[in-house]
Amino acid sequence: MTVTAPSPITPREQLSLPYRFEFAADEHGAILDCFREHGFALIRQMAPPEVVADLRDAVWEVLGADDPPAHGHNRTSPEFVEHSPKAIRLLDASAYVELNRTLFGTDALTIHRSFAVLKNAGSPPVGWHRDYHHTVYDAPSEPDEFLDAGDHGFRALWYLDGSYPDNGGLWLIPDSHRDDWAGLEGFVFTEGRKSFHRVGEPVGDYEGFDDPQMLPLYVDPGDLVLYDLKTYHAAAAQTHSLRRACALILRPSEPAIAVPWAQTETTRRFLERTPERFASFLRNYVGIDYGWEIDAAGERIAPGPGPAGGQRGTPLRGS
């Protein structure tokens, strides 16, 4: 593959950093060292093809089958695992579960949260952002602030149709998870360091891929992308084909985490129908209810028309 200047996309075979960031599924120590040091790691072929095939079907069934998205549209499900019995098959990717056991130092793991993304050709880029949801105001006002608040939280994404820089691909900025990361030269952060934009340009999440610190990832189906909640990332425009992605993120089963929302009906049904062999992963599972939010006075607001109930439309960006 040759690339003509000034394309910002580095050809796959030339992609290089002064350290290794691609690993085999059993290199736990090296994976976690890279993840902690540089804020990300790419693990090759961590899920077997039959699990990937089931997940691809699951994303399509949950987000596309009844009503395929039009050209240029994308959809997300913020509680993917609750909507398709095939989604939990990710727990049959034993290498993934083992990696989490090493990461957390315990065998007792619970599903923390899950989501799915379906993008059709023509979908716009996702601007640079981080998924970290710290509480900006006096008290948490949205569910993500309970689930994505931890200083050591992470995302673990499966790109089931792959992710490539010239077609909707995920890019990230190595080392940007560090609290002392200074930002890109010539850019300023937006409020709460959620994103950044060029000095002198309107405030907003930057959508360019033209700074040398930005790293394009080449992800094949079955590969796992692991990145810190504070690592800045973005996705290019989806020029052609469907792109299905999902996540099933784990955490230690104990201690239970406190959340202010009541169990949703979808969560209740999911817990009831999930086969016994996965029961240990459901201990202290809390689901998510986007209908929960509070106003400035701390009062609970009644569920609105948003993505509560688990359907479609949670923004892709982390804000």
- Residues binding ligand AKG (CB under 6 A): 117, 126, 131, 157, 170, 233, 235, 245, 316, 318
> Given the complex with ligand AKG, which of 253 and 312 has the nearer CB atom?
312
215 binds, among Fe ion, ligand AKG, none (CB under 5 to 8 A by kind): none
C-alpha distances in Å from residue 216, one per residue of 67, 158, 164, 167:
32, 16, 8, 11
> Given the complex with Fe ion, which of 51 and 316 has the nearer CB atom?
316
Smallest gap from residue 208 Cβ to ligand AKG (A): 16
> Given the complex with ligand AKG, which of 155 and 197 has the nearer CB atom?
155
What DSSP line would sit under the chain, residue for residue?
----TT--PPPGGG---SS--EEETT-HHHHHHHHHHHSEEEEET-S-HHHHHHHHHHHHHHHTTTSPPPTT-EEEETTGGGT-TTGGGGGG-HHHHHHHHHHHT-S-EEEEEEEEEEE-TTPPPEEEE-------SSS--STHHHHS--TT-EEEEEETT-BBTTBB-EEE-TTTTSTT----TTEEE-GGGS-EEETTSPSS------STT-EE--B-TT-EEEEETTS-EEE----SS-EEEEEEEEEESSSPPP-SSPPPHHHHHHHHHS-GGGGGGGTT-----TT--B-TTSPBPPP-SSSTTT-S---SS--
31 binds, among Fe ion, ligand AKG, none (CB under 5 to 8 A by kind): none
The residues that touch Fe ion, with contacts defined as CB under 5 A, are 131, 318
> Given the complex with ligand AKG, which of 88 and 116 has the nearer CB atom?
116
> Given the complex with ligand AKG, which of 88 and 157 has the nearer CB atom?
157
Smallest gap from residue 299 Cβ to ligand AKG (A): 30
> Given the complex with ligand AKG, which of 195 and 274 has the nearer CB atom?
195
170 binds, among Fe ion, ligand AKG, none (CB under 5 to 8 A by kind): ligand AKG
Q: Which residue is nearest to ligand AKG (CB)?
A: 235
> Given the complex with ligand AKG, which of 89 and 233 has the nearer CB atom?
233
242 binds, among ligand AKG, Fe ion, none (CB under 5 to 8 A by kind): none
Smallest gap from residue 244 Cβ to ligand AKG (A): 11
235 binds, among Fe ion, ligand AKG, none (CB under 5 to 8 A by kind): ligand AKG
133 binds, among ligand AKG, Fe ion, none (CB under 5 to 8 A by kind): none
Smallest gap from residue 170 Cβ to Fe ion (A): 9
CB-based burial of residue 289 (10 Å sphere; 0-12 exposed, 13-18 middle, 19+ buried)?
Answer: buried
Smallest gap from residue 92 Cβ to ligand AKG (A): 22
Smallest gap from residue 15 Cβ to Fe ion (A): 21
